[in-house]
Amino acid sequence: MANLRLINITKFFGTVPAVSDVNLEVTDGEFIVLVGPSGCGKSTLLRLIAGLETDHAGEIIIDGNNINHVPPKNRDIAMVFQNYALYPHMTVYQNMAFGLKMRKISKEEIDNRVLEAAKILKLQDLLNRKSKALSGGQQQRVALGRAIVRKPKLFLFDEPLSNLDAKLRVAMRGELIKLHKKLGTTMIYVTHDQVEAMSMGDRLVVLHEGKVQQIGKPLGIYEHPANLFVAGFIGSPPMNLFHCKIRKDAQRFTIVTDDFELTLPDTFLQVIKSSNLPDNRVILGVRPEDIHEMRPEICPPLKQQISARIEYIEPLGSEVFATCTSGKHEFIVRFSAKTDIHPDQKIKLVIDMERSCFFHPTKENELTMNNNESGDLS
């Protein structure tokens, strides 16, 4: 059970900064996911916390103690590796007991803890097998077991599910969430898979090029990405982005593109006015599910409607993603599965402007947000 604080963590590999100036506060029992594309520094950050990488600037503090110079074995952490790193010459039992044996814990205690963990992870029948003879999913569970028996202050996961097939991955995701609930230990989890990140984390830390892009709850980040990178990275398919201009006529502001015009809702009036937009340019971000088909029977034709053509569709069963074009613009719209659409169909669309985001055209930050943590406000 532990709090973790990272203060101004910076780590260079040669002259290349792998992690720069990361600040993070993790409260006891939290499930934090470090997410970002490969090479973003998330694994390095995790390995710094584990003590497998050293020589960094900044401070790593667990429960108020600076552990910068504490070797891994004394940090009271457990780590699950991407390739599990099970000792192939040991049985499942020996793998799980190894960490306890090294800590000179009594044989009885080791036995109790291993059996308990085996029960939780349904490994009872495999205890005497060599770890080499196990399937990927079984190895994964042993790797978890090896971490659990230690009862550490902090669990670290380095892409633990990426070597599993899709179905097993989804199942293990659920298992991990349950496990976290049950143990209540602080967990830090690294993944490049934003779906995994969204579904598992209490909070996400989005990393890009060694820098923290945004920290927040999954939904907050989804709805209010702090910048264009997060908007593009979180959400599948990603947020649609339109380069627009703001036109001011009388009392209203209108968002103008070459192909369509949209009225700016009053809620954004203030922020648009106060933002210093070069040439009145702005980037409009809209999630695919916030674009709807305009049906005459529901609402009367509006000026803001977009005439579009469906290029191709991706039916996913419960929903259909349609890639549409309107003039030069290409964007993705989510339809419910029941909607009758087909490629080459002409269609009228409307945007739920209240749910859209606006980004600075050059600084790329979201206009409504003043700080990185704003997604956390909810």
Partner 1 sequence: MITMTKVQAKTPQKLKTQSRSQASDERTAWIMAAPAFLGLLLFIAAPFIIAIFFAFTNYRLGSPLPLDFVAFQQFVRIFSDEAFQQALVNNSLFALFIVPLQCAIALGLALLINRPLKGMVLFRTLFFMPVIFPMALVAIVWELIYAPGANGILNAFLSTVTLGYWQPLDFLHHPDLALPAIMILSLWQGVGFQMIIMLAGLQSIPQTFYEAAAIDGANRWQQLIHITLPQMKNTIIFVALVTSILAFRLFDQIWILTQGGPNRATTTIIFETVRAVFKRQDVARGSAMSVVFFLVVLAVTLLQRRISRQEREIR
Residues of this chain that interact with partner 1 (CB under 8 A) are 50-52, 71-73, 75, 77-79, 81, 83, 85, 87-90, 98-99, 102-103, 130, 132-133, 146, 150
| Burial group, residue 167, by CB count within 10 angstroms (0-12, 13-18, 19+) | exposed
User: Which structure tokens are listed for 9?
Assistant: 């963590």
- Smallest gap from Cβ 85 to partner 1, in A, equals 4
- Smallest gap from Cβ 71 to partner 1, in A, equals 7
| Burial group, residue 122, by CB count within 10 angstroms (0-12, 13-18, 19+) | exposed
User: Which structure tokens are listed for 83?
Assistant: 């390739």
Residue closer to partner 1, measured from CB, 51 or 201: 51
For CA atoms 218, 222, 224, 225, give the dihedral sign: positive
Q: Which amino acid is at 97?
A: A
As a whole number of angstroms, the distance between CA 227 and CA 229 comes to 5
- Smallest gap from Cβ 151 to partner 1, in A, equals 13
User: Are 362 and 273 in contact, with CB atoms under 8 Å apart?
Assistant: no
Residue closer to partner 1, measured from CB, 130 or 348: 130
Residue closer to partner 1, measured from CB, 72 or 237: 72
- Smallest gap from Cβ 205 to partner 1, in A, equals 21
Residue closer to partner 1, measured from CB, 47 or 173: 47
Q: What is the largest CA-CA distance in the chain?
A: 81
Residue closer to partner 1, measured from CB, 51 or 375: 51
The backbone region for 31, taken as left when phi is positive above 0, alpha when psi lies in -120 to 50, beta otherwise, is beta
User: Are 50 and 72 in contact, with CB atoms under 8 Å apart?
Assistant: yes
- Smallest gap from Cβ 93 to partner 1, in A, equals 14
At which residue do the structure tokens 């549409």 appear?
324
- Smallest gap from Cβ 136 to partner 1, in A, equals 16
Residue closer to partner 1, measured from CB, 19 or 310: 19
Q: Distance between the two ends of the chain, CA-based, in angstroms?
A: 26
